[in-house]
Amino acid sequence: MSELWDGIAQAFWLIVTLDADLVEITLRSLQVTLTALVIACLIALPLAAILSVRRFPFRRITIAVLNALMGLPPVVVGLIVYVFLSRAGPFGVLGLLFTPTAMIIAQVIIIVPLIASIAHQSLRDLWAEYHDLLISMNTTQGQRIKTLLWDSRRALLTAALAGFGRGIGEVGAIMIVGGNIDHATRVLTTAIALETGKGNFSLALGLGFVLIALAIAVNLAIHWLSHTEREGRW
């Protein structure tokens, strides 16, 4: 139990003193996950909208596979990305292994199915509601997708936040493709794993509390910026 209090004290101390290492790995965590989130949203949201609006062969199978991929094991993703980016792999020439870019690629692969599946559920329900109206207005497919994405933006924000949560807390894949290299690819989760391995539980817990606080702060900031939960909005 004392380790828990020590952890809280460590977290408080690290934050108050703006510990240089903590600031560095926190900023790297944010940089990697937010970049992965933006890229994943750019892929997942239009994909979810297309799956809602268009009818094409194997659509149901595509949706089922997407849903199944929500539970994609990060370690396996990390391993596959590792193989592709390693020197002997097809993209080895790019020299991306053990860089933040490799970590971003792994996170994108992990969170795209999650965001797309959650977004698809919201967009599908809205499409059922809007279907006749948008057809009667003689809208193009592009206009329908744009309308659905805009009018579902609050639900899509939830999907994006779920993706952020999965990304910021992810350790298996980024440990493999990033290598947890100090001042290069170390992020909060890999630092926690390292400190735990060293038996330094107080510091590991301290970093864990910083990670939780960071996730809550980003969620609150996005909610505040997007004006959700304000009285009288809907």
Partner 1 sequence: MSDLFPLSVSGAQVRRRGKVLVGPVDLTLQAGGVTIVVGPNGSGKTSLLKMLHGILRLNRGGITWACGTEDAQRRQAFVFQTPVMLRRTVLENLIYPLRLLNVPKAQARQQAEDWAARIGLSGAEGRQATVLSGGERQKLALARALIRKPDLLFLDEPCASLDGRAMREIEAILQDAVASGTRIIMSTHDMGQARRLADEVLFILHGKVHEFGPAAGFFEDPETPQARAFLNGDIVE
121 binds partner 1 (CB under 8 A): no
The token pair at 223 is 């909610």
CB under 8 A: which stretch of 5-13, 41-49, 128-136, 178-186 binds partner 1?
128-136
Q: How far apart are CA 8 and CA 6, in angstroms?
A: 5
Q: Is 17 in the site for partner 1 (CB under 8 A)?
A: no
- Summarize the chain as % helix, strand, coil (round to 5): 80, 0, 20
- Comparing CB distances to partner 1, the nearer of 58 and 234 is 234
Residue 43 buriedness (CB in 10 A; 0-12 / 13-18 / 19+): middle
End-to-end CA distance of the chain: 45
d(CA 158, CA 215) in angstroms, rounded, equals 13
Residue 56 binds partner 1 (CB under 8 A): no
- Nearest distance, CB of residue 119 and partner 1, angstroms: 15
How far apart are alpha carbons 79 and 148 in whole angstroms? 36
Q: Which is nearer to partner 1, 132 or 183 (CB)?
A: 132
- Binding marks (x or -) toward partner 1, 149..168, rule CB under 8 A? --xx----------------
Q: How many residues bind partner 1 (CB under 8 A)?
A: 17
Q: Kindly state the smallest distance separating residue 137's Cβ from partner 1, in Å.
A: 6
Q: Please state the closest distance from residue 52 (CB atom) to partner 1, in A.
A: 15
Cα separation, 32 vs 124, in Å, equals 30
**Contacting range for partner 1; rule: CB under 8 A; set: 29-37, 145-153, 205-213, 215-223:** 145-153
Q: Which position among 147, 158, 189, 190 is part of the footprint of partner 1 (CB under 8 A)?
A: 147
Q: String of b and e for 48-70 (b: at least 16 CB within 10 Å)?
A: bbbbbbeeeeeeeebbeebbebb
Binding site for partner 1 (CB under 8 A): 126, 129-130, 132-133, 135-139, 143, 147, 151-152, 232-234
